[in-house]
Amino acid sequence: MAEKTDSVMAGSSFTEKSSNGASDQQQANSDQLIRFLLPDSHSRGVIMRATEIFKQANRIHGLNGHITQLFDQTLLASILLLSISKGGTRQVLQLNAAATAPVKKILSEARQGQVRAYIDWADDQTMLQQHDHAKLSSWLGSPIRLSTVRDLGFGQPYVSSIEHTSDFLADHLIHYLNQSVQIKADIILHGDLAIMIEAMPGCDDEHWFKSVECMAKIPNSALENDSLETLLAYFDSLHIKQASTDMYSYHCDCSSKKMMRALCSLSSDDLSSLAGATGDITTSCQYCKSHHVINLEQIQQGQQLPKPT
C-alpha cells in the first residue's frame, strides 16, 4: 500500500480520547465512530464498526439468524442519522410494516454516545426470531414506512416519514435523505460496518463521482474484516482528513422513576387491574428487558402532584 502523507491514518489519530469524553473503561465496551473530510471532492463522511454494540444488543434481545442483521443495522442507521444532525440531541429511526408481516416495527433511538432499540413483533410471531428469512420484505412486508424523529434539544422535534420499496436498509436511508432532507448521500451497511458519505456545498457531479468511486472500490472482504484505518485508506486519493471521533455503546437509561411517571397517565381502574396482590406493578423495558417494581400507592401519590409547567 502506498505511503500515507496527508491522511487520517497518520500517527496517533485513532488513539486520542473521544470527543464525548468517555473513560477508558467505557471505551473498552464501546465502538468508535470516525468523522472524516474529503477535501478534494467537497464531501464528508462517517465510518463505524459496531462490534460491541451488536454483542450487547443481541445478548439482551436474544436474536438469531437474519433478523439479527436487520435489527443491528437499524441501530447503526440511527447513529448515522444522528451524526449528520447539526446540534441534534436525540435521533429516533422507526421501520414500520406497511402490511401484515412478522414484525410490526423496529425502533432505534440514538443519543450522544449511546443507542438502544427494540422489535415489536406481530401477535404470536416471536417464534420467527430464529427463522432464516434474509430479505427485509420477509420481515416487514413492502413497501416499508421509514419514520424519523430528530430532537434538536429545543422547540418541537422534527418528524418525517416516507415509504420506499427495497430489501436493503441502506437504500431506504439514501432515499429518505434525498427526498426528505435533500441530502445527497451514499451508504454501505455490511455486517457490523457502516460507511456514509455526504455531499457538501460545492460538490458537483464530478466531485461526487470521485467520492462514490473510492467507496465502491472497497472489496467485500475488506468490509467484513479490515480495521477502520485500513478502510479509510481507500479515500487517500481525495486527501482524507479526520474531523472527530465519538464512542458509542448500547445503553438504556430506563428507571423506576421514569416508569412511574409513565404509569401516572393511566386511570385508577387501569392501574388497579395491573397491580398484583401485593399492590405492586411490575414493568418491563422493551429496550433492555429490565424489570421495575412500582408500588400502586406511590403511583397514586404521583398522580396527585401538580404537573410541571
Kindly state the cell numbers that stand for 182. 435533500
Sign of CA dihedral 35, 41, 43, 45: negative
**Count of helix runs (H) and strand runs (E) in the chain:** 11, 12
Could you give phi then psi for residue 149, rounded to 5 degrees? -125, 120
Would you give the distance in Å from CA 151 to the centre of its chain?
A: 14
Between residues 142 and 276, which one has the greater pLDDT? Answer: 142
- pLDDT tens per residue, range 159-204: 999 999 999 999 999 999 999 989 999 999 999 999 999 999 999 9
- pLDDT tens per residue, range 202-247: 999 999 999 999 999 999 999 999 999 999 999 999 999 999 999 9
CB atoms within 10 A of CB 247: 23
CA dihedral 271, 273, 276, 279 (to 10 degrees): 40
Residue 263 CA neighbour count, 13 Å, CB half: 31
- Least confident range from 25-39, 244-258, 265-279: namely 265-279
What pLDDT, on the 0 to 100 scale, is given for residue 29? Answer: 82
- Proportion of the chain above pLDDT 90, given as a percent: 60
What pLDDT, on the 0 to 100 scale, is given for residue 1? Answer: 35
Collapsed DSSP state (helix, strand, coil) of residue 299: helix
Instruction: Give the chain's mean pLDDT.
Output: 85
Domains in the chain, CATH or no CATH each? 24-250 (3.55.30.10), 256-304 (3.90.1280.10)
Distances (CA, A) of 289 to 57, 58, 63, 252, 274: 11, 12, 13, 10, 18
State the DSSP string of 82-109.
HHTSTT-SEEEEEEEESSS-SEEEEEEE
Would you give the distance in Å from CA 83 to the centre of its chain?
A: 10
- pLDDT tens per residue, range 295-307: 877 777 665 544 5
CA distance 106 to 169: 12
pLDDT surpasses 60 at 85: yes
Between residues 275 and 250, which one has the greater pLDDT? Answer: 250
CA distance 283 to 116: 18
CA distance 19 to 235: 23
Q: 189 and 77 in contact (C-beta within 8 Å)?
A: yes
∠ CA 145-146-151, rounded to 5°: 140
**Strand stretches in the chain, DSSP E:** 31-38, 43-49, 90-97, 103-111, 114-121, 144-151, 158-164, 185-190, 193-199, 241-250, 280-284, 291-295
- pLDDT tens per residue, range 7-61: 233 332 333 334 454 455 556 789 999 999 999 999 999 999 999 999 999 999 9
CA distance 276 to 271: 10
What pLDDT, on the 0 to 100 scale, is given for residue 217? Answer: 97
Q: 39 and 239 in contact (C-beta within 8 Å)?
A: yes
